[in-house]
Structure 1
Amino acid sequence: MLVGALLPWASTVLPGGAYPDRATLQFFDAPHLVSGFRLHLVLLGVLAALLSRARKPAGIGVAVIALVHMGFLIGLGAPSIGGPVALAGGLLLMWPGLTAPAPELKPPGPAVARLVLLVAFAALVWLVSETLTAGGQSRATNPYGGAEFLAFCGLVLALACALSAYGVLAWLAALTDRHRFFAFSVMLVCALALPFTDAGTGYWMTVASTIGVYAATAIGLNIVVGLAGLLDLGYVAFLGIGAFTAANLAHVVPFPVAALAGTATAGILGIVVGAPTLRVRGDYLAIVTLAFGEIFFRAAQNNIGGLTGGANSIPGIPPISMFGHAFDKPLGVLPAGSLYYAVTVVMVAVAMVMLVNLRHSRTGRAWAAIREDEDVARAMGVRTGRAKILAFLVGSMMAGLAGAVFAHKLGTVGYESFDFSESVTLLAAVVLGGMGTVPGAVVGASLLFVLPEKLREFSDYRLMLFGLALILIMRFRPRGLVSS
């Protein structure tokens, strides 16, 4: 299998090899770069040889890559097929590594553990930067950008497989839990250092800050759906409530006051929506929340009360400013959008701390009991009505705060940003990342909002691909990518 994977690569460097147009990624100008598809193929083959515990599935993955790659080298198919094939191979390599029992590694001393965490988070930031910039920013300048990005993702997935198969990921998770405060501090500093990497451009800072807004919103939804088990299909309405409230107050009060007002308004309406949950559950609760989301969307579309602008939206929202400097402007060596990115990083960090504390609190245990069996929880003395309303309150307030940042970041707010598909996307982010987990919502939101930016040629099929991904996750990883 390993030889079969290497043959396509070797055939192109021999005299009389395949014409450059038949090559997949970057072979026409840089055949030996690490970002080239052939080297990814070689590394996947090496990992297949190393993962003896997953030899058969890994061999199948390498064989699929080799056969399809050889096929379009001789003229069968378009070059862009190389990226999806590399991604599929990485998934096939990742699956046995994630499902097989990992060996236990002994915990090191405190000093060594902190050093390991520091290196691990720094490497993670570098990997995020390389993933964002893989394939470039524009399909017009690099027609193979999407395929290169998928090929790089295949390599990352294979690397994750190797680390998981040898117990490194579980070991790092245990170290993070044991040194929680230090790990969180290092993670925050490393995240704030992203503008100083190759991804430190105005374009990627804008994308990263948008991901931060949706990640914070997804964490709020994770409280409602993941911890309390209350299916909310209209959650994006709270994001819109916070955004429209802040937009209407932007010219009257400073941003902190507008953000507090948006948070409070969303929280009040969260209580209103949560009240019917005292009598309904399951499918009926989903219908109630879906109805609320549609009511909000139609009210915003028709500018009821003159608060949403209707089809004209609400333009001219001033950016956040501090000491006379607008956050949408460059600051020294930092590109435009870096300050908004810093705001969203801090917001996500606060949301993560809140989620961790709530999950391990008495309220969090009550939510977990309701999620498993509400009747049994009530019989055990849990005040289920109060707990469910509190879940809606906390989740909606988190979305309202994110909405206020969202409005000031965009500079204009329209109803079309808060339709049902956005609620589905947020729910998909929570389920994909891992319901009830701290990093799960962030991972899910990052995947679901980075992939459309990198793969714009597949934008028409986004919801279909999300649905397929959810089906596969429910089949093979029912607890999400980051399970509790």
Structure 2
Amino acid sequence: MSTVTEAPPASTPKAVPPRHTGRLAGLLGALAPRARLLGIVGGIVAILGSQLPWATFVLNQGAYPELATLPFGFTGFRLHLVILGLAAIVVAAIRVPAADRIVRNLGIGIVAVAVINGLYITVEGGGLGAITAADGAVAFGSVVALIGGVLAILGGAAGGAERRPELDWKLPLWVEWLLLVVIYVLMLLVVAAGLTSGGQGGVVNPYSGAVFLSFLGAAGGAFAGLNASGLLGYVATLSERHRVFSVIVLLIVALGLPLTSAGTEYWMTVASNIGVYAATAIGLNIVVGLAGLLDLGYVAFLGIGAFVAANLSGATASAVGIHLPFVLVMVISAVVAGIFGAIVGSPTLRVRGDYLAIVTLAFGEIFVRSAQNNIGGLTGGANAIPNIPAVGVGDFRFNDSITIGSVQLPSGVLYYVMIVLLVAGVMLVFGNLKYSRLGRAWIAIREDEDAASAMGIRTGPIKILAFLLGATLAGLAGAFFAHKTGVVAYDSFRFLESVTLLSAVILGGMGTIPGAVLGASILFVLPEKLREFSDYRLLIFGLALVLIMRFRPQGIIADKHRRAELAEEPEDAAKEAPGALPTRVEP
């Protein structure tokens, strides 16, 4: 008979030293007493680097003056470094909760800005000539800023691994509402600043891509720091606590985009297209995110809705030759796409996994080839269906500019308002479905179809319903797409578009409403802003996706079920607690 001697309970420490091995562990251990000082010094050095020369030549006299020699100011990437550096100094000095994690993330943002702009200046300058002139002058601002970021990262890593605090402040109702309004307005301004970074939309600026990448690096570091502080989690809790109010404010804030710096005709067109892909991605989220059915031909339903709308809208090249009201066209397009969705969903009764993906891929290819061959004269073939009439009321068209008082809004703003309302309605449908009996049945099928069937769930009809509803939402978005662009061609609905939509769902977060919208926005904006790097645009785009999936596999906005599935196994508290005695077994 053996007895087990239990170890005495050990208190869980507030901060857990980082687990490193070898020389790195020794270095961080030696730097631990000076962690705060390293964070402060790193912020100071980053600010100093922002005001030093970054190039010994002038890249451009007007479009990108921050890359010239003198004078320096607080614009562009220099402003990004100053903000991140000041934040690192303040956080390290006053020792807020989880200060080490915050400083480390801010340091990563500083390093990203320094590397992106330093490499760009060097490449644009033809090599080392960007930093070393013939007269011996040296521009080392990027190097100094990089050192500052590295010092901040070392200070944060050496300080420990304090857990992210769970903030749940209880404030008066009006204060929480006011706080939500301020946060959402700030988010709108940040989005507008990111869209117009490097120049206004439609204005040719050869350096807009580099400026946008720098903005992304700075914004990524700042948001990572806010997440480590627990503030982003508190905002999510606050939004959930006042869900109806948050939805109303978000809708109003989204409608306010034309009043910001992004209120140009170019960005209204881009935003409208983002709305189309966002609504389509939400529909795909039902099929993939909730029901777990891999669909590689989903863009075909968007195309079906678009071609049906084109033929019923009175276009000159339409084979039908009738002109129905816009609302009726939207309904018919959604119904027809939904019927095709149910037809495609029927094979799901007998196939799963990779075989289902092949079936949906085949349907998408059949649709594209049929559209290319102008089957029945309904798709226009290579000539497409052009001259689709714009939506209008009387003599007024939605693609006209409007003036409200002394404010003149760009053309296409009403299309943007329409797609925002459409996306809001689709989000409402998705939200209600997710938490309904049908939504829970989809989730059960996604987790284990055999177990769901054993529990009495009729998996066959429920999977067909997923395809039907997802295709209906895609057809609705396709009808809007046809009227907004004024032309529908089969080139807009190729396999690559299905992959992009699927990537948007996975990147944003499967099973979440904001995730699909955010994923679609990112995947549509990135190629637009990276046109400067025409030869390397797809390389940068793919690398960004790989990095996000490596460090955030559950998506940017993770569903709680996915977060629980992909969470790391918690370590034994006895191993983490210093001085804890191991369990001993005596014979």
TM-score, length basis structure 1: 0.90
Letter in 1 for 2:414: L
**8 Å CA contact retained: 1:11, 1:18:** no
Residue by residue over 1:55-76, the C-alpha shift from the partner in whole angstroms, topping out at 9 and shown as x without a partner, is 4565466457557867867963
Moved more, 104-113 or 65-74: 65-74
**Greater Cα shift, 469-478 or 371-380:** 469-478
Match of 1:352 in 2: 427
Structure 1 position 193, deviation (Å): 1.1
Instruction: Tell me the distance in 1 between the aligned counterparts of 2:554 and 2:422.
Output: 25
Structure 2 counterpart of 1:42, from 79, 82, 85:
82
Residue 121 of structure 1: aligned partner: 184
In the alignment, what sits opposite 1:435? 510
If each structure's helix is expressed as a fraction of its own residues, which one has the higher value?
A: 1
Match of 2:139 in 1: none
What amino acid is aligned across from residue 227 of structure 1 in structure 2? L
- Does the CA contact (< 8 Å) of 1:25 and 1:37 recur in 2? no
| Residue of 458, 463, 482 corresponding to 1:388 | 463
Paired residues of 1:107 and 1:171 also in contact (CA < 8 A): no
After superposition, the Cα gap between the structure-2 partners of 1:66 and 1:428, relative to the gap in structure 1 and judged at 3 Å, is closer
**Alpha-carbon spacing, 1:66–1:132, altered in 2? closer, same or farther (3 Å):** closer
Query: Which amino acid counterpart does residue 517 of structure 2 have in structure 1?
Result: V
The corresponding residue for 1:162 is 225
Out of 147, 155, 159, which is 2:210 matched to?
147
8 Å Cα contact 1:133-1:198 kept in structure 2:
yes
Distance 1:267 1:459 in 2: 38
Q: Which residue of 2 is the match for residue 245 of structure 1? A: 308
CA–CA separation in structure 2 for the residues paired with 1:345 and 1:324: 23
Counterpart for residue 5 of structure 1 = 46
From 275, 283, 300, the counterpart of 1:212 = 275
Instruction: Report the Cα offset of residue 355 of structure 1.
Output: 1.1
What amino acid sits opposite 2:370 in the alignment? A
* TM-score of the aligned structures, taking structure 2 as reference length: 0.75
- Partner of 1:207, secondary structure, is helix
Deviations 1:89-141 (A, max 9, x none): 89x98x99x99634323132322111111111111111111111111146974
Matched, 1:76 2:128: yes
Task: Please report how far the alpha carbon of residue 208 of structure 1 lies from its aligned counterpart in structure 2 after TM superposition.
Answer: 0.6
Tell me, in whole angstroms, the C-alpha distance in 2 between the residues paired with 1:68 and 1:440.
Answer: 27
Q: Which moved more, 1:373-382 or 1:158-167?
A: 158-167
Specify which of 100, 104, 112 is matched with residue 53 of structure 1: 100
| Residue aligned with 1:439, SS | helix
Instruction: Look at both structures and tell me which one has the larger radius of gyration over its CA atoms.
Output: 2
Partners of 1:139 and 1:408 lie apart in 2 by 22
Could you tell me whether the CA contact under 8 Å between 1:221 and 1:430 is conserved in 2? yes
CA–CA distance in structure 2, aligned partners of residues 428 and 78 of structure 1? 38
> In 1, Cα distance between the equivalents of 2:443 and 2:294?
14
Report the RMSD for the aligned CA atoms in angstroms.
3.1
- 8 A contact 1:429–1:448 mirrored in 2: yes
Aligned letter for 1:35? T
Q: Cα gap change, 1:303/1:63 in structure 2, threshold over 3 Å: closer, same or farther?
A: closer
In the alignment, the residues of structure 1 paired with residue 534 and residue 65 of structure 2 have an alpha-carbon distance, to the nearest angstrom, of 24
Alignment of 1:15-414 (within 5 A): 18-21=56-59, 25-27=64-66, 28=68, 32-49=72-89, 50=91, 52-54=99-101, 55=103, 59=107, 62=110, 76=128, 101-137=164-200, 141-251=204-314, 252-332=323-403, 333-414=408-489
% identical aligned pairs:
55
Amino acid in the other structure paired with 2:199:
G
**1:283: how far off?**
0.4
| Residues 40 and 357 of structure 1: CA distance in aligned 2, closer, same or farther (over 3 Å) | same
Report the alpha carbon displacement of residue 22 of structure 1 after superposing the two structures with TM: 10
Q: Which moved more, 1:462-471 or 1:260-269?
A: 462-471
Name stretches of at least 5 consecutive residues in structure 2 with no aligned partner: 1-41, 93-98, 132-141, 315-322, 560-587
Residues of 1 paired with 2:186 and 2:179: CA distance? 10
Cα distance change, pair 38–418 in 1 and its aligned pair in 2 (3 A)? same
Separation in 2, partners of 1:274, 1:374: 16
Q: 1:156 to 1:264 in 2, by over 3 A?
A: same
Question: Which amino acid in 2 is paired with 1:220?
Answer: G
SS of alignment partner, residue 11 of structure 1: coil
The equivalent of 2:136 in structure 1 is none
The alpha carbon displacement at 1:467 in A equals: 3.7
State the 1:198 CA deviation.
1.3
Alpha-carbon distance between aligned partners in 1 of 2:512 and 2:85, rounded to the nearest angstrom: 33
Answer whether contact 1:428 1:466 (CA < 8 A) is retained: no
* Worse-matched range after superposition: 119-128 or 450-459: 450-459
Is residue 274–residue 392 contact of structure 1 (8 Å, CA) maintained in 2?
yes
Letter in 2 for 1:259: M
Aligned residues: 473
Alpha carbons of 1:268 and 1:436: their partners in 2 closer, same or farther (altered >3 Å)?
same
- The alpha carbon displacement at 1:40 in A equals 1.4
